[in-house]
Structure 1
């Protein structure tokens, strides 16, 4: 095959290289007699462009959401829970002897009613280990677990941890589809986020958004009694999504969809999968989880917070620092009281590591062990002191 100079120029133009046709043309004009096979010359010219294309990442997969859902969807389950709830007590007027004589046996008697709820979950192991939210199965020991393929199993609630809102269920089956776990600690705000669940009774609903933020504290989310640093996402999460998986673009589970804020539009929150997996393993092995507990109430100081505390006289002491973690109160008979903590202490270090806010202190305590020594450095009246406290298991009964 041989090409004339004109044919060669047209061919290069069709390939998108016509912008330099004048230069290329003159180049090949000088070399025309030396080029026996113009197609080889064309390949030589195109080689740098081909090399550049080969270094580029592959074209974006526009179906990555569908592929992620196809992988994980069969392992996402619907959880139907029921619990017995007492109706209202006998109205006060009916306790009056006059009314009792008048109405006799017609006095209403409190009865039990069944309260039903639906949530989501996902399968961790092929032999039937399922994870969900504690509030989904609250008050229930037995639940019904329905797979995407329509199969239904009786599920036994193995354990619940209300502190992190994680619960685990066991169903008797083999060869079940399972999810793949990712790493929430590697997330970056702006990444894709995919939620799967059963919102409002609509099974196997998929929504998509991005990771909006990381490390949202429990107080920021509106559940201060929890011990979780939440993932924030704008993937739509509605009632019934609770307990379902939050996925990354690879179809790996990075969190458990847990909470929405009533006063927020389009914001949802998920428990990082590392926390959920750790709690689930303890629940499956022990049936319960022991969270280290100090027994202090604390707040992260800012100049505004300092002024507010001093002006409104929340405490019996004056706050002098503008930043740090202020111990506002020490609970009676708590590990902190036994270790010598006092209201007004400013926590600066936990386990010899600097802390800058209350959430960081809580995370350090959570990472400690029940009954083991934990060093906490505080500033008290301008002096630095090191307190050694032995965290105890977080009490299940109501705190004083």
Structure 2
């Protein structure tokens, strides 16, 4: 009797095990999900064998920095300080090392510059050397040179210096017209007299005006970046990831006097146009379209009865100017020049600023809803 009972119990246990094993074999998910309520359920969301895009992040800035740093110089200036109560240059206060409220003593200023040619021409900002009685340039290898101010252009905030010698490390030029928002860039300069400093960021915007140069005939079409730039960086290099010169660092947006997130550089295509004139003639021979203009926005477009919301509206024509002679009209909306889109006043200023007096440009306008292309021969201003 006992043996029969034990046999029945054993048979029951074996049968239960067989039943449980068969259920788990038929329903494996139930077994896995019951392990833990909090256990993560991992799946492979995606798998892509496509090669990484060119310049995908992360990548190495060492090569660009090695190329750029020898081409950027430290500029020291001596400026005769105005007596107390006289006007002073706000750029010198903001970017220099001196106290603008001093009592007539010579003050030291500092900034940066970039070798433009291998025979000693250096590009910097006008405000770095404005009113300087002496300019000294220090290279990365600690050699120092007295520099001559070849010429300046206040309305673009550019200046060209010259030191004696040859074989200096000038950079290749990028094409700033082709630079794109989101592209990596390096700022190279001498912030707070910390020589050969390199910072990285991206292009945040193009064609940016910040009303730094006083409006009027000023050319403001800055490349905006988030690379850290501080007092002393002015006149230094903005370079692309290949180490080519993309712009000249000029200003920062700040409430404190130091970097607060955005910096601004003059595009190299405009720099080259102005610097070449200064080297050849001693000043910038600027071409003018001869118009008073304003930005188009949605409200203005509605008022003009057009179905576009970006462009530059011609408000008035300068008597005898290039635009009037070519047949452009008030309330024409400039949408492109030489097939390059124009969305804002700074973009138009940059494009015209790159042209030479005597050049003929094709100005595309929206005239009361109709597209019209007008050839304009630019006159000197």
CA distance, structure 2, for counterparts of residue 190 and residue 375 of structure 1? 30
1:79 paired residue among 75, 85, 88: 75
Q: Residues 329, 85 of structure 1: CA spacing in aligned structure 2 closer, same or farther, 3 A cutoff?
A: farther
CA distance, structure 1, for counterparts of residue 104 and residue 242 of structure 2? 47
Whether the aligned pair in 1 keeps the contact of 2:211 and 2:220 (CA below 8 Å) is no
Other-structure match for 1:362: 349
Equivalent residues in 2 for 1:111-122 (5 A)?
A: 113-122=105-114
CA distance, structure 2, for counterparts of residue 56 and residue 358 of structure 1? 38
Other-structure match for 1:34: none
Deviations 1:264-315 (A, max 9, x none): 83111122223223322222222222121133221222223457xxxxxxxx
After TM superposition, the structure 1 stretch with the greater mean CA deviation from structure 2, 354-363 or 380-389, is 380-389
Q: Residues 335, 87 of structure 1: CA spacing in aligned structure 2 closer, same or farther, 3 A cutoff?
A: farther
1:285 paired residue among 261, 264, 280: 280
Question: SS of the counterpart of 1:125?
Answer: coil
CA distance, structure 1, for counterparts of residue 53 and residue 371 of structure 2? 55
Q: Residues 63, 287 of structure 1: CA spacing in aligned structure 2 closer, same or farther, 3 A cutoff?
A: same
Q: Residues 81, 392 of structure 1: CA spacing in aligned structure 2 closer, same or farther, 3 A cutoff?
A: farther
2:224 paired residue among 226, 232, 247: 232
CA distance, structure 1, for counterparts of residue 208 and residue 55 of structure 2? 38
Other-structure match for 2:245: 253
Whether the aligned pair in 2 keeps the contact of 1:64 and 1:250 (CA below 8 Å) is no
Q: Residues 207, 378 of structure 1: CA spacing in aligned structure 2 closer, same or farther, 3 A cutoff?
A: closer
Deviations 1:361-390 (A, max 9, x none): 434533543245666566677888887765
Aligned length: 311
Larger helix share, 1 or 2: 1
- The gaps in structure 1 that reach 5 residues or longer are 1-51, 91-110, 308-317, 395-400
Equivalent residues in 2 for 1:85-96 (5 A)?
A: 85-87=81-83
CA distance, structure 2, for counterparts of residue 352 and residue 251 of structure 1? 29
2:190 paired residue among 182, 193, 198: 198
Whether the aligned pair in 2 keeps the contact of 1:222 and 1:261 (CA below 8 Å) is no
CA distance, structure 2, for counterparts of residue 69 and residue 256 of structure 1? 16
Other-structure match for 1:328: 315
1:273 paired residue among 268, 274, 277: 268
Q: Residues 303, 209 of structure 1: CA spacing in aligned structure 2 closer, same or farther, 3 A cutoff?
A: closer
1:210 aligns with 2:197: no
Other-structure match for 2:148: 156
CA distance, structure 2, for counterparts of residue 265 and residue 287 of structure 1? 36
TM-score (norm 2): 0.66
Q: Residues 368, 202 of structure 1: CA spacing in aligned structure 2 closer, same or farther, 3 A cutoff?
A: closer
CA-CA distance at 1:259 after TM superposition: 1.6
Deviations 1:328-358 (A, max 9, x none): 3445665556667665444466568875543
Other-structure match for 2:36: none
CA-CA distance at 1:188 after TM superposition: 3.3
Other-structure match for 1:144: 136
Other-structure match for 1:14: none
Equivalent residues in 2 for 1:306-345 (5 A)?
A: 319-321=304-306, 323=309, 324-331=311-318, 334-336=321-323, 343-345=330-332
CA distance, structure 1, for counterparts of residue 278 and residue 56 of structure 2? 40
CA distance, structure 1, for counterparts of residue 181 and residue 361 of structure 2? 33
CA distance, structure 1, for counterparts of residue 295 and residue 55 of structure 2? 47
TM-score (norm 1): 0.64
1:392 aligns with 2:379: yes
CA distance, structure 1, for counterparts of residue 169 and residue 59 of structure 2? 22
Question: SS of the counterpart of 1:157?
Answer: strand
